Amino acid sequence: MNLYVSNLPYTLTDEELQSEFAAFGNVSSARVVKDRETGRSRGFGFVEMPVEAEALTAINALNAKDVGGRALRVIEARPKEERPLRNFGGGGGSRGYGGGGGGGKRDQREGWDRDKRS
């Protein structure tokens, strides 16, 4: 069972997180999520426990437990949702600024192509 642990002390390591849960059973992995740019903890992590009964015992025992002056929040992790890619910036445009160029005013003449002016 995959567990989501939040409100972690920012100084907590993967090993310390694992030892908190190991008292309740086998822990396959424990990972504190870190900021990509700074490498500092983001205050939450994931713990994988293969035996569901042990994981549920850990949830009940560790949820709201004070660790490093912070009350942990432990719940079953939800599967990662498929999210659409975020669009940073507006429309087309060159080099990512401004909106995309429209077509301008269109000529209504039948069979006339503005690129082939004859």
Domains contained in the chain, CATH given: 2-76 (3.30.70.330)
pTM (two decimals): 0.68
107 or 28: which carries more pLDDT confidence?
A: 28
Query: Using one digit for the tens of pLDDT, what is the confidence trace for 60-70?
Result: 999 999 999 99
Residue 15 has pLDDT above 70, yes or no: yes
pLDDT category at 108 given cuts 50, 70, 90 is: low
Torsional sign, CA 111, 115, 116, 118: positive
pLDDT category at 107 given cuts 50, 70, 90 is: low
Kindly report the number of other CB atoms within 10 A of residue 73's CB atom: 15
Residue 80: per-residue pLDDT: 79
Q: pLDDT above 90 covers what percent of the chain?
A: 65
